[in-house]
């Protein structure tokens, strides 16, 4: 039927794609990118195909041409595979979405509008999940730092207790040595041969011995307490 088209039929057909008057006489070599796209679409509609593959069909088209393309594709009875970054165009026509994400492809059986909504909701969930994970990580790091600080404090307390215990142990040995020295001095018979001076010296040594024994008892108590702290840890 189209093989017997007259010039008038051809002009009417081109007129549907924005070519009117002398425009139909122009050669394709002088046409703009958008005009060439419209010619290609005009030729496509003449072919008895049930599948169209369109790669960025709205590039270089003005608003009126895009609207005409949308109307034509809506009336088209076959299937159309469209590769496009024109979201407004996809919202009007796409009834199934193959979305590329890096090296993966996601097949969504709904419209582009539904896919956008689902993706927006997923984005919110992902951001919420990342935020919660970040909070959890910060909490974990805080707990780790607190635990490390607690361990350092315990270690420092233990070192301090050990130093105190060692110091007290040395004090015990020194006190025991001084007591033994005082006892030997008091047990020396020569001390009592000195008359009044010997008696005074014996009294002084005896008082010092009493004081040294009390100091030893106090030091032993403190050393025992420090040792108990170390054993408990």
pLDDT digits (tens, 9 = 90+) for 125-184: 888 888 788 777 777 777 878 878 877 877 787 777 788 878 888 888 888 888 888 888
Question: CB 102: neighbour CB atoms within 10 A?
Answer: 5
pLDDT (0 to 100) of residue 3: 56
Average pLDDT along the chain: 80
- Across 34-50, average pLDDT: 75
Q: Return the sign of the alpha-carbon dihedral for residues 14, 20, 21, 25.
A: negative
pLDDT (0 to 100) of residue 124: 81
Superfamily of domain 2-93: P-loop containing nucleotide triphosphate hydrolases (3.40.50.300)
Question: CB 17: neighbour CB atoms within 10 A?
Answer: 21
Distance CA 98, CA 102 (A): 13
Torsion of CA 124, 127, 132, 136, to 10 degrees: 170
User: Two tokens at 211?
Assistant: 């004081």
pLDDT digits (tens, 9 = 90+) for 94-139: 889 888 877 888 888 888 888 888 888 888 888 888 878 877 777 7
| Domain segments of the chain as ranges | 2-93, 152-232
pLDDT (0 to 100) of residue 12: 74
Percentage of residues of the chain with pLDDT beyond 90: 0
Contacts of 87 (CB under 8 A, 6+ apart): 112, 116
pTM for this structure?
A: 0.42
- Across 203-225, average pLDDT: 85
Least confident of 26-35, 48-57, 64-73, 171-180: 26-35
Residue with tokens 């350092």: 152
């Amino acid at each position: 039927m189209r093989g017997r088209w007259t010039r008038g039929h051809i002009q009417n057909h081109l007129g549907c794609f924005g070519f009117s008057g002398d425009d139909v006489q122009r050669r394709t070599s002088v046409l703009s990118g958008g005009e060439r796209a419209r010619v290609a679409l005009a030729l496509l509609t003449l072919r008895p195909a049930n599948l169209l593959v369109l790669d960025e069909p709205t590039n270089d088209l003005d608003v009126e041409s895009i609207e005409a393309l949308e109307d034509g594709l809506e009336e088209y009875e076959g299937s159309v595979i469209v590769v496009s970054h024109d979201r407004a165009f996809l919202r009007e026509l796409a009834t199934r979405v193959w979305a590329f994400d890096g090296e993966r492809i996601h097949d969504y059986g709904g419209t582009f509008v539904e896919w956008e909504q689902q993706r927006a909701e997923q984005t919110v969930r992902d951001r919420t999940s990342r935020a919660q994970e970040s909070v959890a990580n910060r909490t974990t790091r805080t707990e780790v730092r607190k635990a490390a600080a607690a361990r350092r404090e315990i270690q420092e307390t233990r070192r301090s207790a050990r130093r105190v215990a060692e110091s007290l142990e040395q004090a015990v040995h020194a006190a025991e040595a001084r007591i033994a020295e005082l006892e030997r001095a008091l047990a020396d018979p020569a001390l009592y041969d000195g008359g009044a001076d010997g008696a005074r010296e014996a009294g002084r040594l005896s008082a010092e011995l009493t004081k040294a024994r009390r100091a030893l008892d106090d030091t032993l108590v403190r050393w025992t307490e420090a040792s108990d702290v170390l054993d408990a840890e």
